[in-house]
Amino acid sequence: MAGHRPAVTGFYHEETNSIAYVVADPATRRCALIDPVLDFDRACRGTHTQFADRMVAFVREQGLTVEWILDTHPHADHFSAAPYFKEVFGAPTAIGEHVVTVQKIWKEIYHLPDFPADGSQWDRLFKDGERFRVGELEAEVIFSPGHTAASITYVIGDAAFIHDTLFVPDSGTARADFPGGDARALYRSIRRILSLPPETRLFTGHDYQPGGRAPQWEATVAEQRQHNTHVHDGVTEDEFVRMRQERDRTLAFPGLLLDALQINIRGGRLPEPEANGVSYLKIPLNYFQETGCAAIRNPKG
């Protein structure tokens, strides 16, 4: 991997504990933006671009050219800013081809009979193993289901962007109880990621700052294999699945899930404005029978 080391800059979004990335090829000054966040004011249900504009300013200050705007999956805890960045930079958007599975699940939950669940909201749908370039850096897509049915990893040079698959070692792994999630698939995706060269830098998409420490989002494959609290070397698939399912039962229903997924299955676009020029979210009342994770695992029907 010598000579194939991208410059990676993470931007931490405090409201959702998310990290978005600018990944640049130092040789060509070309870059990709990964999992960009659109701000959402929960109180007044308004969107704005303050966080995204920090990334825009950085790209311009560094003299970078944006080649790609990449999502790892449809997020359940923040809105994607991919359409905003496409408007600003004119670069194509992309996600994994299995996004259509997630779209079909949530099309039914939201009852959107006319919604095109075909991935057409993005410019490119990547297949497992597909390769592309960021400047002169080779990038590869790894299908990484488990957290969602659509999750992918982007390996760009010596860096892999794994979002809600692994967290940094003291935080373990992501939940697998959303519709379409699967703890066993998550374990297998993690083992595939951890089979990358040991010096590979892994960049996660969230950090919840356990113990109040400062945000962290980078660890090597070797560090994860030795220290990850949920899935270090020696943890079997059955042990992991049992732990993950027990842990998921204790987790709260995500506060933005019903807002965010309605936006993110549209590639980050708001619903079409109605006659008065206002976009509206459609929230399924009483669809999930309880509060908490049991509601996620056992939706009505």
Q: In whole angstroms, what is the distance from residue 204 CA to residue 218 CA?
A: 7
How high does pLDDT run on average in the chain?
94
Range of the domain at 16: 7-297
> pLDDT-based confidence at 290, cuts 50/70/90?
low
- Residue 1 inside a domain? The answer is no
| Count of domains observed in the chain | 1
pLDDT per residue as tens digits for the range 207-251: 999 999 999 999 999 999 999 999 999 999 999 999 999 999 999
- Residue 2 inside a domain? The answer is no
| DSSP code at position 170 | G
Q: In whole angstroms, what is the distance from residue 103 CA to residue 100 CA?
A: 5
Q: Cite the beta strand spans of the chain per DSSP E.
A: 7-13, 18-25, 30-34, 37-41, 46-48, 65-70, 79-80, 93-96, 124-126, 131-134, 137-143, 152-156, 159-163, 201-204, 218-220
Q: Is the CB of residue 233 less than 8 Å from the CB of residue 226? A: yes
| Whether the predicted pLDDT of 43 surpasses 80 | yes
pLDDT per residue as tens digits for the range 93-136: 999 999 999 999 999 999 999 999 999 999 999 999 999 999 99
Judge if pTM exceeds 0.85.
Answer: yes
How much is the pLDDT for 4? 85
Q: Two tokens at 74?
A: 């449809």
**Torsion, Cα of 292, 296, 297, 298 (10° steps):** 90
Residues in the chain: 301
- Residue 203 inside a domain? The answer is yes
Q: In whole angstroms, what is the distance from residue 219 CA to residue 266 CA?
A: 32
Q: For position 170, which CATH number holds?
A: 3.60.15.10
pLDDT per residue as tens digits for the range 58-102: 999 999 999 999 999 999 999 999 999 999 999 999 999 999 999
